Structure 1
């Protein structure tokens, strides 16, 4: 009876252990955001936002640019010249700046998960519209820079977004 129980119990315990263990640190693929920023700035028809420097413990996870008509995420076609730059902070908060010269309303709705206006804040030389998603989880700041709409988005409170906005420059 003990042998029969061991034959069944040992594989079950191994399966439970394998599927319930937590990895030490997720494997996050980092990208070279500085060269992609330079490339976007040379191709875009508007001033491209990006930080001059970021804290050493931030991990750049996205940096991509597409011209109008190019393939974008999920095999969609970009409706405008589009820029996206995202970082994972040391507190594992994802912050991204999205920018495009496509129609403002559709772009903001897509990037902010159909967020609604939640006030305004001035950061540096720009006045940003604060936005919050219907479920209250995602917050965003939007503004117009040149012929583009810029959106900073995060699953964090507004002070985190305004701190990130202060880091952004167009050169």
Structure 2
């Protein structure tokens, strides 16, 4: 092999001068500094603003329940709750993805935890599983003189299920079980009025 062929096959390694190396590194360092400053500028307002608390809209649940009664074919629940409880929404859904018509009310407890009340006269095991977030049965819980089925989900939500007089009521949320009991007792009282 000739010397000329050997030179063509040997890769050439570029040699940078000290000034060239400094300029190449300066670009990278400048980019890292700019990125760090940008992240800081974004984080400051995020960290200074507290997370928003869930706020109660205090919708008129009895009035909306009264309007929904004609479509529902039963008197939807509008339980009277102690001071400090509020409601975010109340709605009648005649058609939804589950195919089960349902009355829903979103409640905020005094500790600002959320519990959703779902009620239907067409409940079935599939609907109960869907509304409770596929929570598994964990036992029973007595509230308002009735035995409720207690369910727990891996996401930390609890559900209480009551089937009474052709109606199925599911309470679902991340509140403390003592707060579930308050709502469950009010539901049982309201069911007794019918």
TM-score (norm 2): 0.67
Question: Aligned pairs, how many?
Answer: 157
**Structure 2: distance between partners of 1:111 and 1:25:** 26
Which secondary structure state, in structure 1, belongs to the residue aligned with residue 46 of structure 2? helix
- Go from structure 1 to structure 2 and tell me whether the alpha carbon gap of 1:28 and 1:124 turns closer, same or farther (over 3 Å shift): closer
What are the equivalent positions in structure 2 for 1:14-163 lying under 5 Å apart? 14-23=41-50, 25-26=52-53, 28=55, 30=57, 31-52=59-80, 54-67=81-94, 70=95, 72=96, 76=97, 79-133=99-153, 135=154, 137-163=156-182
Of the two structures, which has the highest relative contact order with CA contacts closer than 8 Å and spacing of 6 or more? 1
Aligned to 2:30: none
**Structure 2: distance between partners of 1:16 and 1:101:** 50
Which secondary structure state, in structure 2, belongs to the residue aligned with residue 41 of structure 1? helix
- Go from structure 1 to structure 2 and tell me whether the alpha carbon gap of 1:47 and 1:81 turns closer, same or farther (over 3 Å shift): same
Q: Is the 8 A contact 1:46 1:147 kept in 2?
A: no
Residue 148 (structure 1) shift:
2.3
Highest Rg: 1 or 2? 2
Residue 10 (structure 1) shift:
7.9
TM-score (norm 1): 0.74
Which ranges in structure 2 are unaligned for 5 or more consecutive residues?
1-33
Residue 32 (structure 1) shift:
3.0
Q: Is the 8 A contact 1:140 1:154 kept in 2?
A: yes
Which is richer in strand?
1
Mean Cα deviation higher: 8-17 or 115-124: 8-17
**Structure 2: distance between partners of 1:56 and 1:14:** 43
Residue 155 (structure 1) shift:
0.9
Residue 63 (structure 1) shift:
0.7
Which secondary structure state, in structure 2, belongs to the residue aligned with residue 48 of structure 1? coil
- Go from structure 1 to structure 2 and tell me whether the alpha carbon gap of 1:118 and 1:106 turns closer, same or farther (over 3 Å shift): same
Which ranges in structure 1 are unaligned for 5 or more consecutive residues?
1-7
**Structure 2: distance between partners of 1:146 and 1:101:** 9
Residue 25 (structure 1) shift:
4.7
**Structure 2: distance between partners of 1:34 and 1:43:** 15
